[in-house]
Chains A and B, each alone.
Chain A
Amino acid sequence: MRTVIIGLDGVPFDLLRDLAESGVMPNTASVIADGAFRKMLSSIPEVSSVAWSSMITGKNPGEHGIYGFTDLFPKSYNMRFPNYNDLKAQPFWERWPGKSVIINVPSTYPVRHMRGAHISGFVSVDMQKSVYPSALLAELEQMDYRLDVDSQRAHASMDLFLTDLDRTLDARIKCYRYLWDSENWKTFMLVFTGTDRLMHFLWDAYEDKDHKYHKLLLRHFEKIDDVIGEIADQMNDDDLLVMLSDHGFERLDQDVYVNYVLRDSGFLRFKDSHKITLNTIAPGTKAFALDPARIYLNCKDKYPCGTVTQDQREDILAELEELFGMLQLDGRKVISQMHRKEQTYSGPFSENAPDLVLIPAGGFNLKAKPNAPVLAEKDIFTGKHTQDSAFLIVRGFADDSCVPETPSISRVVSIIENCHN
């Protein structure tokens, strides 16, 4: 019995269902018909680094230690970008028997020794450190393999970006085919991340059938569906096929800047009003935020200018919850949920967790941005992540109760293990 996991980064439950039902993704429709198709909860916060780390380890951030794409060095406000070396829990491929092929899973850079083959996904900056075993590098080069689409191209030309996206997908498909045949694997995991990029830039093109790029967007999903069909056809009856996304997506109306709110209400102060970065946080600061909406209390002994004591913690958290609970734009509440550290995370690394994580209401996209000049604005992006609308499909097991009605992403590994058992 083998396991195949296909990740569609950022694809929401409703979109996948619509594309399956409308005939854009017929192979996916078949898989859905034969398996359990669920709406799934993403991680808190709902970003790929946290979500995929939770998925591959089966743990919550308090146990695996990844809380976002960014974090701070201990006792400082200096920003770092956590990666696979910071993951404190084992990914499933280091625990499960047999060889694994792991392609393009975000936040698994730099790669390390494992049984099988591993090509890391976003953020991966050096090809040499992104491929295990390194003997694969020559093959990948021949395939014109790209670690990720160059998203900066979208700011210059959407056509250029889409061409690059297409080439990246083509190379990824070549890579999967090569490793599918060349490795004697027990577990095969392939993640498509272009879906997330597309929806950030072109969610409006998905919603608007007359949009210039609507057909191109659908074509991208058709291509992925072809691969899903190809994979499904090659699987044996006793193999398990799992498809999932790491978070959902929806239309983006406005970006809202959390640090602006904190500054404006006196929770956050900077030494130099002309140079507003986390490195210039001033004494007197009670709280600051990291992307997307992780609020940290500026605790004494934890940060260079930290002053908040344990005794003050509860009061400040209550003030923050009141502040953000009342935050409205255009008559709509901006925040839908607030998660306190203690109620959200558990495990040996929960001490590093944000004290409060905000989840935005529909249409609002939360960002930290310390130097934001305004509370909210509209960027070129038209789509944003959602926490409660990822999807999960599991096909190839007998007992339907293996898959909960509303699974969360950190349960996926145990669901697969249960299916195998």
Chain B
Amino acid sequence: MHNAKCTCWNCPAINLAGKVDFRACGQSIRQFEKSPDSSQETYIMAECNRRPQLGLFDPMGITFADCPEWVESPYGYLLKNMRVMILGIDGYLGWTLALWLGSLSCKVSGIDNYSRRDCVKERGAHTVVPIARMTDRLRRAKEVLGINIDFREMDILDRENLREFIDEVRPEAIVHYAEFPSAPYSMIDVEHAIKVQHNNVIGTLGLLFAIRDLVPESSLIKLGTMGEYGTPLTGRPLFEGVFPADAVLEWDDRQWSMGGELTPRDPVSFYHVSKVQDTFNVYEACKYWWLRSYDVMQGVIYGVHTDQVAADPMLRTRLDLDECFGTIINRFVTQAVVGFPLTLYGAGEQTRGFIGLEDAMQCITRLIAKPPEPGQYGVVNQMSGYTSMRNLAEIVAKVGRQECGLDVKIQRVENPRVEADRHPFEPVFDKLPQEFGFVQADNPEEEIRRMFRLLTRPEIKQRIEEKKHLILPKVWWSGVKKEVEQIELLRQEKREPVEIVGISRSAKKARELAADVNPIQSS
């Protein structure tokens, strides 16, 4: 178990009650230093909210493996009936996670103001996989899966009610998905840019204060995006939030260690800017108030399947195709299903990280299971591989042809965004596999195959047909109002698409080094 050696220091069920200094019979209540005193002159005192009979104790002693409140699960030790609050529980990820965690015996609660449904409707689109009303979803979750979800219709900006709900539930983990997740949506016009930034930045800021005041030991799992980093043309690796310990800056014949400093961010839309602002707000809150958070820099998400959402048509999660809310692989599959050429922007050589829906659920669960230490702002790059848009289109086309006998075409269109469409890309995504035990379960081709099987159902295909006119981008970063035009219809490739790169270069290097040291073991 990846978290077996974690101690109460990591556990959100403790209350860090104070500090005691027996050298001078002194105590200091809620006046902590950043970390336990390594000199062992002073002690942090903790109380367990779940086992108050333990009294006050040193939180560094009891491990998850030793604690009866932490029980084994497929994703590490999990707190028994852990209280997890999902903000944005009605969304593509939020709903899927609610059922996923519910099936692991977590006590799931959540809020949503249905803004995703409203925004998609505003764009004239709809989810191509039909989803039920929340009341029906909740009822069906109970009937089919035996999962009770404590849901409140609520805007994250409604701070008073949010605080009340948090105080009532006392969540031990909070997964924050309650943000507008669309770059094009934020670039439509000034009103949309403000709407996105206001909701995302102010919503998160209010949440941080609520956590500080009500549940400071709860862990915050905050959804960021790989897009925060941009795609630096220097080819600099995209580290996981902060520079590694041995990173060095050289300038003017001098050197500085960069270890532990936040890496530069280079957002690529006003939406991405809001995510970067969140990053700094969360980072500062951890620093000022000893909050604990993982910022999840998620690659582009795709997929339709988890065992829970597939258990019943009314439990399905949404899937969008429009330019604002359809993510790239999901959109490609919908296009292929209705014979709409897959659209690459510009050269189509943009490279991105990707992660399947089921893998994303696994990652979030593993993060919940291994909460950060007090004051820790941790960042993970959550992706299971990376490749170019063009290669992705070719993979989708191949599966479409093989699975459904579809004649899938690929086209290049004008790029409405301001971005490099050819660039180096070296993401580091080692932490989840190395520190959290993440093992990729989704096979991209298999998941795409599953998507074809679902999306080619007549009733769903019909829903795609109805909205396929919304696929081509109309939102230009420049503000120009016009549809993109086709540059080129690519001829069908004879060659096989290359495999998605499923391992970070640093992990590969580590494996090679291990092989050098111990070739027998590696073979």
Interface, chain A (partner B; CB < 8 A):
9-10, 47-48, 69-70, 73, 76-83, 85-86, 106, 122-126, 147-152, 154, 193, 196-197, 200-201, 277-279, 291-292, 367, 369-371, 379, 381
Contact = CB atoms under 8 A, between A and B. Distances in A.
Given A79-B58, A80-B55, A150 B24 contact: no
B24 A381 contact: yes
A206 to B, nearest CB: 15
B25 A150 contact: no
Contacts of A125: 17-18, 27, 29, 45, 47, 56
Nearest to A77: B61
Given A148-B27, A151-B27, A200-B25, 18 more contacts: A47-B22, A73-B54, A73-B62, A78-B57, A78-B62, A81-B20, A81-B57, A122-B25, A122-B26, A125-B18, A149-B26, A150-B28, A367-B23, A369-B39, A369-B41, A371-B39, A371-B40, A381-B23
A79 B27 contact: no
Interface in B29-54: 29, 31, 38-43, 45, 47, 54
B19 interface: yes
Interface of B: 17-29, 31, 38-43, 45, 47, 54-58, 60-62, 66
A147 B29 contact: yes
A183 B515 CA distance: 77
User: Which of A69, A70, A125 gathers most chain B CB within 10 Å?
Assistant: A125
Interface SS of A by simple majority:
loop
A79 B43 contact: yes
A151 B17 CA distance: 16
Contacts of A9: 25
A83 B56 contact: yes
A172 to B, nearest CB: 15
29 contacts: A9-B25, A69-B20, A70-B43, A78-B58, A78-B62, A79-B57, A80-B58, A81-B57, A83-B55, A85-B55, A122-B26, A123-B20, A123-B56, A125-B56, A126-B29, A147-B27, A150-B27, A151-B25, A151-B27, A152-B21, A152-B31, A154-B26, A196-B24, A201-B24, A291-B22, A369-B41, A371-B40, A379-B23, A381-B23
A123 B45 contact: yes
A287 to B, nearest CB: 18
Contacts of A369: 39-41
B10 to A, nearest CB: 15
A309 to B, nearest CB: 25
A276 to B, nearest CB: 8
Nearest to A109: B56
B67 to A, nearest CB: 10
Contacts of B62: 73, 76, 78
B4 to A, nearest CB: 14
* 9 closest residue pairs by CB, A with B: A151-B26, A78-B61, A200-B24, A79-B58, A80-B57, A125-B17, A81-B56, A152-B28, A125-B18
Contacts of A81: 20, 43, 45, 55-58
B26 A80 contact: no
Contacts of B42: 152
